[in-house]
């Protein structure tokens, strides 16, 4: 795991190529503190900062083949490299190293860009093919590893994080208002768009080929589901399917334990990480080390279940306590790493957690990420199912009462009357044909936070509609899928790479040079799970039914039966009170808000007042506060000149005058 | 009577949910839910406010959109509650 950067074409002449690559690497060093290298050829440059995990002595990068016609800079892991290497050797390839990097080089020699189809792993890489004068960029299927690029003055630049691109002369951070509108709707911008105007993200499962005068981007893999009409096929073979799921998960975990450094695991207290840790505990040669986050508020904390699982598995367990003040203190760093405004603080505890992992001497952790998307664990799937159920008898006041069962962990919701439950959840019942049906309530309540957008921002957005853009991006087959498959697709193809794996995943782990590995996101697991009948994933209102079956015998029965508790962290409570960090006041003060021009200062003032007296409780207000504050932090961290206006000094000067 | 109540209710909603003057175009009869003014936590905040501000007690059966979904319906509900309380 590492950071990569480089260019194709002739870079800006103001800076020698090597100096430019060094500067880009300087911004990525947190991702790979163990070594670095640069390779400059005629027409391309590659750079790499390394976190050594496989073949510690010989895996240095950038790496070239024997005659230097193919050179690579690679971030990530190819988990099936052992099998691929054997195959390649059998076909006559000779290897100089035992690294997975060299496997990609040899595979590329044989197959060219199609080599990605053989890779089982989490990767972002660039290959310079000097004979064809062609640069290839590639990203893994699920979007675990990041890759960004930008074109300036005829050259194409790429890097693991945008901050490295900002080292290129002529590339400056400027906020893209449409990306902000998307964040305030979906929680993330729709790839390839990023919040940095003119900087693109290579979407998951895509390759980019740049040759002189021509850049093309194409998809090499897509998540697909059976037609709704076929979705019941195999429904009766529950035991057989559960067995298949279990075998595949064991294999996905087994190849994710391949590493020349020890591999630990996260334990959230929930089913998914418990399954992964249980399998890893059986396969790992030594006692498994596990890590988790604790909260001081019972509303978020899962310590009891973490300890129970650690004891059942016999792991050597450590936890880090995240108080609201810790989240507030970490938040500016979170935004510098996430490189975008976010509407929730939930990434912050994960940055604190990766710090613990690093302090304990670990570089690699397994997690349960992806199980909720792939096996149907999220509440939104149940909510959509209930909304469809209500739609069949819109007058019923009994059916909406079922929504209480969906959110047992939200005390404020339990207090709602049937009429209000209906008003909140049984919405858009006439929109059953809308491809976004499952997500309309979430998108709408998130978009409520746009209330704070300034008139100027609204004018620049004109009549832009983020939902319409998402609708038009959906695959052709989408309308033929079962409603659960449709909702799963929206989570897996969008929220997962756009937010979970990036803002909450790679960036928070790599802030402390820790690599996450996700057995549930092995594409074999993802493809197999997509074929499982929906009724076996969401049985009645029991989520991840088939996974629970597969977990029998792996984890204690109480764990296999435990309902999902979503991972959340205190939002606005982290920014106010006795421990309120000084940046909150500074960035949310009227002049600072006015200077960014994005939000309405008077409205923000009222929201802050509400935060100060501790009465921000609702979803929209928490999202708005976190979103506004993180946008302000983002500007200050990246936009040239944004820091120059210091409202406090302006105010004090005015007072003096 | 109702107009005084209406002003206090509007003030609370503008200060705590609407946040901005340029949106005060919200008509007295506009739905708070449909216009995104109120979410599920907002309802509970509103109930707490009404109970304290007007010294009334709201039963579960009264916490329904019919009573609470616009400034006008809240004012008329509160008006009824207060006069019942006075009559009692």
pLDDT digits (tens, 9 = 90+) for A228-286: 998 888 888 999 999 999 999 999 999 999 999 999 999 999 999 999 999 999 998 88
Catalytic hit among A2, A115, A322, A390: A2
ipTM score: 0.80
Taking only the tens place, the pLDDT of each residue in B54-68 is 999 998 888 888 999
Query: What number is the average pLDDT over the span A188-203?
Result: 98
Residue A148 parent element (H or E): strand A148-152
DSSP state of A227: B
Residues of chain B numbered 48-77 and touching chain A (CB < 8 Å): 60-61, 63-66, 69
Q: SS3 for B57?
A: coil
CB atoms within 10 A of CB B41: 20
Contact with chain A for residue B36, Cβ under 8 A: yes
pLDDT for residue A502: 97
Token duo for residue A321:
């306590």
- At residue A563 the predicted structure's pLDDT band, cuts being 50, 70 and 90, is confident
pLDDT for residue B23: 58
Indicate if the alpha-carbon torsion angle A391, A393, A394, A398 is positive or negative.
negative
Contact with chain A for residue B31, Cβ under 8 A: no
What's the CA gap between A374 and A264, in Å, rounded?
A: 23
What's the CA gap between A450 and A445, in Å, rounded?
A: 10
User: Which residues, 6+ apart, have CB-to-CB distance to A652 below 8 Å?
Assistant: none
Q: Are strands A289-295 and A263-266 parallel, antiparallel or unpaired?
A: parallel
What's the CA gap between A279 and A518, in Å, rounded?
A: 13
- At residue A656 the predicted structure's pLDDT band, cuts being 50, 70 and 90, is very low
What is the percent of chain A with per-residue pLDDT over 90, rounded to a whole number? 80
Q: Compute the C-alpha angle A18/A24/A29, nearest 5°.
A: 115
Question: What rounded mean pLDDT belongs to chain A?
Answer: 93
What's the CA gap between A42 and A133, in Å, rounded?
A: 9
Contact with chain A for residue B25, Cβ under 8 A: no
Tokens 């087959």 locate to A477
pLDDT for residue B22: 66
Residues of A480-499 as b/e, b for ≥16 C-beta within 10 angstroms? Answer: bbbbbbbbbbbbbbbbbbbb
Among the ranges given (A605-614, A648-657, B10-19), the one the predictor scored with the smallest mean pLDDT = A648-657
Contacting residues of B for A455, CB less than 8 Å apart: 22
HEC-encoded secondary structure of A444-507: HHHHHHHHHECHHHHHHHCCCCHHHHHHHHCCHHHHHECHHHHHHHHHHHHHHHHHHCHHHHHH
pLDDT for residue A119: 98
Q: Are strands A155-159 and A134-139 parallel, antiparallel or unpaired?
A: unpaired
Contact with chain A for residue B45, Cβ under 8 A: yes
- At residue A51 the predicted structure's pLDDT band, cuts being 50, 70 and 90, is confident
pLDDT for residue A33: 86
Evaluate whether A105 touches A94 at the Cβ level (below 8 Å).
Answer: no
What's the CA gap between A224 and A164, in Å, rounded?
A: 34
CA-nearest residue of chain B to A600? Answer: B20
Q: SS3 for A200?
A: strand
What's the CA gap between A509 and A558, in Å, rounded?
A: 30
Is A322 among the catalytic positions? no
Note the pTM of the prediction, 2 decimals.
Answer: 0.93
- Interface touch A617/B64, C-beta < 8 Å: no
CA distance A351 to chain B (A): 29
Query: What number is the average pLDDT over the span A296-311?
Result: 92
């Amino acid at each position: 795991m590492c950071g990569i950067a480089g260019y194709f074409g002739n870079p800006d002449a103001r800076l020698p190529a090597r100096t430019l690559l060094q500067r880009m690497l300087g911004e990525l060093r947190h991702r790979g503190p163990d070594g670095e290298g640069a390779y400059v050829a005629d027409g391309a440059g590659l750079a790499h900062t390394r976190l050594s995990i496989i073949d510690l002595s010989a895996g240095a990068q950038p790496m070239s083949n024997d005659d230097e016609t193919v050179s690579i800079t690679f971030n990530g892991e190819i988990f099936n490299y052992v099998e691929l290497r054997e195959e390649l050797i059998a076909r006559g390839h000779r290897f100089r190293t035992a690294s997975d990097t060299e496997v990609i080089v040899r595979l590329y020699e044989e197959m060219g860009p199609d080599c990605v189809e053989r890779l089982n792993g989490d990767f972002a890489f660039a290959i310079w093919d000097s004979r064809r004068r062609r640069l290839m960029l590639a990203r893994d299927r699920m979007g675990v590893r990041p890759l960004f690029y930008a074109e300036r003055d005829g050259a194409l630049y790429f890097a693991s994080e945008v901050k490295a691109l900002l080292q290129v002369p002529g590339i400056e951070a400027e906020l893209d208002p449409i990306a902000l509108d998307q964040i305030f709707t979906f929680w993330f911008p729709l790839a390839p768009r990023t919040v940095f105007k003119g900087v693109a993200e290579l979407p998951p499962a895509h390759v980019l080929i740049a040759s002189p005068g021509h850049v093309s981007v194409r998809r090499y893999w897509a998540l697909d589901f059976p037609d709704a009409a076929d979705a019941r096929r195999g429904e009766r073979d529950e035991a057989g399917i559960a067995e298949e799921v279990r075998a595949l998960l064991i294999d996905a975990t087994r190849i994710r334990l391949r590493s020349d450094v020890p591999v630990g695991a996260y334990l959230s207290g929930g089913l998914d990480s418990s399954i992964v840790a249980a399998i890893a505990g059986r396969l790992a040669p030594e006692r498994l080390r596990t890590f988790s986050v604790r909260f001081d508020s019972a509303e978020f904390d899962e310590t009891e279940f973490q300890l129970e699982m650690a004891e059942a598995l016999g792991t050597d367990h450590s936890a880090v306590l995240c108080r609201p003040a810790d989240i507030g203190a970490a938040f500016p760093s979170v935004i510098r790493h996430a490189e975008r405004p976010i509407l929730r603080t939930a990434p912050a505890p994960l940055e604190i957690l990766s710090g613990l992992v690093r302090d304990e001497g670990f570089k690699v952790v397994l997690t349960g990420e992806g199980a909720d998307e792939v096996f149907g664990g999220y509440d939104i799937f149940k909510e959509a199912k209930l909304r469809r159920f209500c739609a069949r008898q819109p007058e019923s006041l009994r059916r909406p009462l079922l929504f209480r069962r969906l959110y047992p962990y939200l005390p404020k919701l339990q207090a709602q009357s049937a009429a209000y439950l209906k008003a909140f959840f049984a919405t858009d019942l006439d929109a059953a044909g809308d491809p976004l049906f499952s997500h309309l309530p979430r998108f709408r309540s998130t978009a409520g936070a746009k209330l704070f957008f300034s008139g100027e921002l609204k004018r620049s957005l004109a009549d832009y509609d983020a939902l319409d853009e998402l609708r038009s991006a959906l695959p052709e087959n989408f309308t033929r899928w079962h409603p659960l498959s449709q909702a799963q697709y929206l989570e897996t193809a969008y929220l997962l790479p756009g937010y979970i794996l990036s803002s909450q995943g790679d960036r928070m782990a790599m802030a402390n040079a820790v690599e996450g590995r996700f057995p549930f996101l092995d594409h074999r697991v993802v493809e197999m799970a997509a074929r499982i009948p929906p009724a076996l994933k969401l049985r009645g209102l029991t989520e991840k039914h088939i996974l629970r079956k597969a977990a029998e015998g792996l984890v204690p029965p109480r764990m296999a039966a435990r309902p999902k508790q979503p991972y959340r962290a205190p939002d606005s409570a982290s920014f106010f009170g006795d421990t309120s960090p000084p940046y909150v006041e500074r960035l949310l003060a009227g002049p600072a808000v006015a200077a960014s021009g994005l939000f309405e200062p008077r409205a923000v003032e009222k929201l802050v007042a509400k935060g100060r007296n501790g009465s921000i409780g609702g979803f929209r207000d928490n999202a708005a506060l976190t979103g506004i504050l993180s946008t302000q932090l983002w500007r200050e961290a990246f936009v040239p000149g944004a820091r120059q206006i210091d409202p406090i000094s302006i105010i004090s000067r005015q007072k003096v005058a | 009577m109702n107009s005084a109540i209406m002003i206090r209710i509007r003030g609370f909603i503008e200060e705590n949910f609407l946040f901005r003057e340029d949106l005060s175009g919200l008509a007295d009869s506009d739905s708070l839910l449909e216009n995104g003014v109120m979410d599920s936590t907002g309802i509970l905040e509103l109930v707490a406010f009404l109970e304290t501000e007007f010294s009334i007690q709201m039963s579960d059966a009264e916490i329904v959109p019919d009573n609470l979904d616009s400034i006008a319906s809240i004012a008329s509900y509160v008006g009824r509650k207060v006069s019942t309380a006075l009559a009692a």
